[in-house]
Amino acid sequence: MAFRISRTGLLFALIGLAGLALPFVQFKPNRIVPGEGLRLFDALSLPLGWMIGLVLGAVLIAGCLERWPARLRLTVALLSVIAVTLALGAAATQLTPPDNTLARVSPSSGFWLLLLAFALMLADAQSRITLGLPIRLAMLIGAMVLIAVILGSGVLDGVSVMREYAARSDLFAREAAGHLVLAFGSLGLALLIGLPLGVAIYESPAMRRPVLGILNILQTIPSLALFGIMIPIFGWIAANIPGAAQAGVAGIGLFPALVALFLYSLLPVVSNTLTGLIGVNPATREAAAGLGMTRPQILVQVLIPLALPVLLAAIRIVLVQNIGLAVIAGLIGGGGFGTFVFQGLNQTAMDLVLLGALPTIALALVAGIALDLLVEATGGAPKGGQA
Amino acid sequence: MTGRVLMAAAMLFLLAFLASPESFASLFKPFTRNNAPAIYTQTGLMSLTLSHLGLVLLAVIASTLIAVTLAILVTRPSGREFLPLARTVTSVGQTFPPVAVLALAVPVMGFGAGPTLVALFLYGLLPVFENALAGLTGQSPQVQEAARGMGLTPRQRLWQVELPLALPVILTGVRLTAVISLGTATIGSTVAAKTLGELIIAGLLSSNTAFVLQGGMVVGILAVLIYEGFQRLEQLAAARIGQG
Amino acid sequence: MIEIQNLTRIYGTTAVVKDVSLTVETGQIAALVGTSGSGKTTLLRMINRLVEPSAGRVLIDGKDTAEIEPHLLRRQIGYAIQGHGLFPHRTVAQNISTVPRLLGWTQDQHRARVDELLELFQMEPADFRDRMPHELSGGQQQRVGVARALAARPDLLLMDEPFGALDPVIRAKAQQDLRDIQRQLGTTLIIVTHDMEEAVTLGDRIAVMDKGELLQYGPPSEILTTPATSFVSDLIGTGDRPFRLLSLTPVAEIIAEGQAEGAEIPREASLRDALAECLWSGRDRLPVEGGGIVTLDSLRAQAAPTARAAE
Ligand SMILES: Nc1ncnc2c1ncn2[C@@H]1O[C@H](COP(=O)(O)OP(=O)(O)OP(=O)(O)O)[C@@H](O)[C@H]1O
Ligand SMILES: [Mg+2]
């Protein structure tokens, strides 16, 4: 049996071995002083560090050989991701002197590279096996449960991000809720307004150019500016229009951010609604009318079900985009995870930046994958495309 | 035709505004309060704009070069092994929020133009790569077959057949990247990059809507101009291969 | 009875249907033929008001269709189109029961109706009921399309090139089935086609249209023997004319006394089949099932328009 070298495996090995050679964690006696980088072998107590390091190294090198079945590689890569994560937690616990609340252990380049190497191995193995929808859904849920278990178990509690979290867990819950309200609330608003608008311009083609033109221009305004413009506009409305303030309109806080995100979401929703409706076979539409369906019946029973995959694709685009853009709300006091990101940037406290950035990324990933699955389940193209 | 006139008008307006912002002060005065200045003078608008554009240009060129090269590599027989992985990474990578990428680049690059450039570059890779991949893999097998049958070497096929045919689609990717980068670059000012975001943030900090509007307007007009310009290029490229 | 009176439709400045009047008797098949763009579809769609007439009116059993709500009117009229227009997201049963459900039939009623129709179209209900349209062959899709049009027992069925997408063999079979089912149910049928052959096979009456105008309306034999204009004769195609004429009459109608050698021909076979058999087997007379013969001479006489006109 000839051993062929797998070049993807080789790439992962290079990344991973570099990760083993580079500092795994950054140790700082307190938050201010510059830290000291420690490799995996040095970060963990003597036998453990070497054992984990050697096993991971062996996996990486073995991965260079061609003949492993994809399912095995998938499992091994998953276990390795877990091992790297747990090693981080262990290193943090071991390095931090007991009862010391000042010392900080944060993940460093070595950790990120190892994580990247095994995540790539995981992605590669997964893309080579065709798994059914239910299995992939189960995998997504499984991954979320796994993360929850690891975070809940406390093994990572020594890591700097988690210590930042522990210091402000109430605040975190509030900003998380704020972030979700921003992302999902703006999506809900966009659907509420965008769907009827899409249907309207479908029914009257003359309106298409002006409506889409305006929404397109809205899209070109940089997010930062759009958020900024909302503040005085709603401030003025709240102050000058009777009843507006009581109805929740305000120039500060969540409201302007919500509206800005809503405005950004309109184009994908409206244009995809139109595309989806136009895409319905004219013969089908004609048949529906010919059979005596009323206009609303045609819309609800025929057009919308058939346009559903395209509509879901719009929801995917909007949700992923808004989860990301909602970070900017942190800059104008709109809440959400962006609060931590920008606080962290201001104080050059990277752990705080991570506390905001990591959950945002995780949320966007989960939303993206979950909606991809949904689009696929309703018979659309498997990957979420561009607007 | 009217489109072209509108574009020209927008361009002229932008140039006039950048060359002499003070002459437009009365236009923005209503948006200021307490006699605050209507025009940002801390840094010249022209220089902010140029630095903003420079950053975007650099990032777009870099991502285009790398992304197209990678797309070519993974579509060669020797690189096919990487294709499924590349597809997965692209679709997952695009769900990463640009702001998060920017923030995460700071620990590596420090503050300034560096992290912005890196974030713009990384984030810009994906649309170009995705489109280049679509362009290179979506070609009719007959054309490939014909090119082979005429005795073109793989390298000649790439340069004379595949790339020209994929060009319109690649340009679409570059356009997406350019427009996204133009907007994202404003956020770079939060990590001290010199971009038009500086103007907007100054406006936010001093509650001066005029600044916010100016920043938004300049970036918006630039985005529309770039968008239209690329679209024209794409049409030209498509017309050349008979799809116009 | 369907009475179309001075129907006109104008788009912009051009009349795509000009002052067309014709009557279709209850239980008959009228075939609309004409070149592409001659206004056949538009005329058909004005009957169920998918297109509103610019002038003129349509009476169904004496009642003006303009007085009925369009969607209610359409529920009384079956409608089947080329490419069948089946709802891709609904099963065969759901597709067929569309109009019965719109009309508020009970579940038992429309279920029974679906099975009845599937059987009528020779599709095993248990097998086909729950399939999706894309799980059917083209011919099956087309049959489901017609079954759907017939679901609420309409007295009038409109069909726009229903067989356009079928291959010739399935097409002939589908035409035969349609004819049988139409005779069985007594449905009045107006069918658009641009295939003269199909019009001759199916139509009790043929309406020839050109540039929005009705050039001639009459039984197939009249269209074939005395075309009203040169356009009509071009459409018939001079080369095929005798064969088309022969295909209209069954052997049974011209049986003569006598004896002949060789294989028998069925009584319901067309004269065209008989001629083909004569030429192919080199005989000048064929025995007919159940007695009698057809001769080559009598076939030849039938193929000439003069003979017909003299009848
Ligand atoms: N909605 C419309 N607006 C403008 N013109 C129309 C419209 N519908 C049909 N026409 C025009 O009316 C003429 C007749 O069209 P129609 O569809 O009735 O022809 P047809 O005889 O059914 O042709 P075909 O055999 O190709 O189906 C055509 O010239 C067509 O372009
Ligand atoms: Mg037609």
pLDDT tens digit sequence for A206-257: 999 999 989 988 888 888 888 888 888 888 888 888 887 787 777 777 888 9
- Give the separation between CA A110 and CA A39, rounded to whole angstroms: 7
Are residues C103 and C27 part of one domain?
yes
Identify the three-state secondary structure at position C29. Answer: strand
Complex prediction ipTM: 0.84
Domain ranges (residues) in chain A: 7-157, 169-377
Q: Which residue carries 């709802």 as its tokens?
A: C87
Measure B37 CA to nearest chain A CA, in Å: 17
Looking at all shown ligands, the one closest to residue C46's CA atom is 1
pLDDT over 90, % of chain B: 25
User: How many other CB atoms sit within 10 Å of the CB of residue A248?
Assistant: 11
Q: Which residue carries 């561009």 as its tokens?
A: A386
**Confidence at residue A2, expressed as pLDDT on a 0 to 100 scale:** 58
Identify the three-state secondary structure at position A245. Answer: coil
Measure C153 CA to nearest chain A CA, in Å: 13
> Does B200 reach chain A within 8 Å, measured CB to CB?
yes
- Give the separation between CA A143 and CA A37, rounded to whole angstroms: 30
* Mean pLDDT of the C152-161 span: 92
Measure B124 CA to nearest chain A CA, in Å: 14
Cβ–Cβ gap C48/A290 under 8 Å: yes
C25 Cα to the center of ligand 1, angstroms? 26
Size of interface A-B (CB pairs under 8 A): 147
* Mean pLDDT of the A324-329 span: 92
> Does A296 reach chain C within 8 Å, measured CB to CB?
no
Q: Which CATH number fits domain A169-377: 1.10.3720.10, 3.10.150.10, 3.40.50.720, 1.10.760.10?
A: 1.10.3720.10
The encoded tokens of residue C93 equal 């049963």
- Among residues A348, A26, A290, the alpha carbon closest in space to that of C102 is found at A290
Task: Tell me the chain C residues in contact with residue A294 when contact means C-beta distances shorter than 8 Å.
Answer: 71
Task: Tell me the chain B residues in contact with residue A342 when contact means C-beta distances shorter than 8 Å.
Answer: 190
| Nearest ligand 1 atom, CA C9 | 12
Give every CB contact of residue A226 below 8 A, 6+ residues apart in sequence: A218, A260, A263, A264, B216
- Give the separation between CA A384 and CA A317, rounded to whole angstroms: 7
- Among residues C252, C246, C247, C224, the alpha carbon closest in space to that of C237 is found at C224
Any idea what the CATH number is for the domain that residue C301 is in?
Answer: 3.90.1280
Mean pLDDT of chain C: 88
| Interior angle at CA B4, CA A385 and CA B6, nearest 5 | 95
What domain range includes position C259? 244-310
**Confidence at residue A47, expressed as pLDDT on a 0 to 100 scale:** 83
Task: Tell me the chain A residues in contact with residue B193 when contact means C-beta distances shorter than 8 Å.
Answer: none
Looking at all shown ligands, the one closest to residue C160's CA atom is 2
Greater confidence (A42 vs C77) lies with: C77
**Confidence at residue B1, expressed as pLDDT on a 0 to 100 scale:** 62
- Give the separation between CA B123 and CA B182, rounded to whole angstroms: 12
Q: Which of C71, C81, C158 lies nearest to residue A292, judging by beta carbons?
A: C71
Greater confidence (A32 vs C126) lies with: C126
> Does A149 reach chain C within 8 Å, measured CB to CB?
no
- Give the separation between CA C209 and CA C32, rounded to whole angstroms: 7
Does C19 score more than 90 pLDDT? yes
> Does B84 reach chain A within 8 Å, measured CB to CB?
yes
- Give the separation between CA C27 and CA A111, rounded to whole angstroms: 82
| Nearest ligand 1 atom, CA C51 | 1
Question: Are C77 and A291 spatial neighbours (Cβ–Cβ below 8 Å)?
Answer: no
Does C139 score more than 90 pLDDT? no
> Does A386 reach chain B within 8 Å, measured CB to CB?
yes
Does B33 score more than 50 pLDDT? yes
Per-window interface: A 101-120 vs B, CB < 8 A: 109, 120
Cβ–Cβ gap A367/B89 under 8 Å: no
**Confidence at residue C226, expressed as pLDDT on a 0 to 100 scale:** 85
* Mean pLDDT of the C12-40 span: 93
| Interior angle at CA A122, CA A124 and CA A86, nearest 5 | 160
Looking at all shown ligands, the one closest to residue C195's CA atom is 1
- Total domains, chain C: 2
Contact C/A (≥3 CB pairs under 8 Å): yes
- Give the separation between CA A343 and CA A356, rounded to whole angstroms: 9
Beta partners for residue C209, in sequence order: C34, C214
Q: Domain B47-240 in CATH: superfamily?
A: MetI-like (1.10.3720.10)
**Confidence at residue A198, expressed as pLDDT on a 0 to 100 scale:** 95
Greater confidence (C37 vs A68) lies with: C37
Q: Which of B91, B108, B200 lies nearest to residue A224, judging by beta carbons?
A: B200
Measure A275 CA to nearest chain B CA, in Å: 19
What is the DSSP track for A29-43?
A: SSSSS--EEE-HHHH
End residue of a domain, out of C236, C254, C286: C236
- Among residues A182, A212, A207, the alpha carbon closest in space to that of A272 is found at A212
Cβ–Cβ gap A225/B186 under 8 Å: yes
Task: Tell me the chain A residues in contact with residue B186 when contact means C-beta distances shorter than 8 Å.
Answer: 222-225
pLDDT confidence of C212, banded at 50, 70, 90?
A: very high
Query: Kind and range of the H or E element at B7?
Result: helix B2-19
Question: Are A320 and A368 spatial neighbours (Cβ–Cβ below 8 Å)?
Answer: yes
**Confidence at residue B71, expressed as pLDDT on a 0 to 100 scale:** 93
Does C121 score more than 90 pLDDT? no
Residues having CB within 6 Å of any atom of ligand 1: C 11, 16, 34, 36-42, 194
Mean pLDDT of chain A: 88
Does C240 score more than 80 pLDDT? no
Does C308 score more than 60 pLDDT? no
- Give the separation between CA B100 and CA B86, rounded to whole angstroms: 21
What is the DSSP track for B66-131?
A: HHHHHHHHHHSTTTGGGHHHHHHHHHHHTTS-HHHHHHHHHHHH-SSHHHHHHHHHHHHHHHHHHH
Nearest CA in chain C to A378: C89
**Which of B38-47, C96-105, C144-153, C156-165 comes out lowest in average pLDDT?**
B38-47
pLDDT over 90, % of chain A: 45
Q: Which of C74, C81, C145 lies nearest to residue A292, judging by beta carbons?
A: C74
Identify the three-state secondary structure at position C293. Answer: strand
Q: Which of A281, A291, A302 lies nearest to residue C79, judging by beta carbons?
A: A291
Question: Which of A291, A295, A302 to substitute to test the interface with C, most C CBs within 10 Å?
Answer: A291
Does A301 score more than 90 pLDDT? yes
Does A387 score more than 60 pLDDT? no
pLDDT confidence of A381, banded at 50, 70, 90?
A: low
> Does A231 reach chain B within 8 Å, measured CB to CB?
yes
**Confidence at residue A297, expressed as pLDDT on a 0 to 100 scale:** 93
The encoded tokens of residue A252 equal 């500060």
* Mean pLDDT of the B118-143 span: 88
Cβ–Cβ gap A284/C99 under 8 Å: no
- Among residues C252, C240, C303, C238, the alpha carbon closest in space to that of C275 is found at C303
* Pocket-testing residue among C41, C158, C235, ligand 1, by greatest number of atoms within 8 A of Cβ: C41
C31 Cα to the center of ligand 1, angstroms? 17
Identify the three-state secondary structure at position C206. Answer: strand
* Mean pLDDT of the A36-55 span: 85
| Nearest ligand 1 atom, CA C45 | 18
> Does B53 reach chain A within 8 Å, measured CB to CB?
no
What does the DSSP 8-state code read for residue C151?
A: T
pLDDT over 70, % of chain A: 97
- Give the separation between CA C55 and CA C5, rounded to whole angstroms: 9
Give the N- to C-terminal CA distance of chain B in Å, as an integer: 17
What does the DSSP 8-state code read for residue A248?
A: T
- Give the separation between CA A189 and CA A49, rounded to whole angstroms: 51
Distance of CA C102 to the CA centre of its chain: 27
The encoded tokens of residue B242 equal 């008979």
- Give the separation between CA A314 and CA A277, rounded to whole angstroms: 13
Are residues C71 and C12 part of one domain?
yes
Supply φ then ψ for residue A66, to 5 degrees: -75, -25
Size of interface A-C (CB pairs under 8 A): 60
- Give the separation between CA A68 and CA A110, rounded to whole angstroms: 26
pLDDT confidence of B62, banded at 50, 70, 90?
A: very high
How do residues A192-209 score in pLDDT, each as one tens digit? 999 999 999 999 999 999
Nearest CA to ligand 1 atom 27: C36
Nearest CA to ligand 1 atom 22: C41
Beta partners for residue C295, in sequence order: C285
Measure A133 CA to nearest chain B CA, in Å: 16
C211 Cα to the center of ligand 1, angstroms? 10
Positive or negative CA dihedral for B18, B24, B25, B31?
Answer: negative
Nearest CA to ligand 1 atom 8: C42
Contact B/C (≥3 CB pairs under 8 Å): no
Question: Which of B82, B95, B122 to substitute to test the interface with A, most A CBs within 10 Å?
Answer: B95
Does A385 score more than 50 pLDDT? no
Domain ranges (residues) in chain B: 47-240
Per-window interface: B 30-49 vs A, CB < 8 A: 31
- Which of the listed ranges B104-118, B148-162, C130-144 does the model predict with the highest average pLDDT? C130-144
How do residues A267-283 score in pLDDT, each as one tens digit? 999 999 999 999 998 88
For the entire predicted model, the pTM comes to: 0.81
Does A102 score more than 90 pLDDT? no
Are residues C273 and C131 part of one domain?
no
**Which of A114-128, A158-172, B4-18, C229-243 comes out lowest in average pLDDT?**
C229-243
As a whole number of Å, the CA-based R_g of chain B is 21
Are residues C82 and C113 part of one domain?
yes
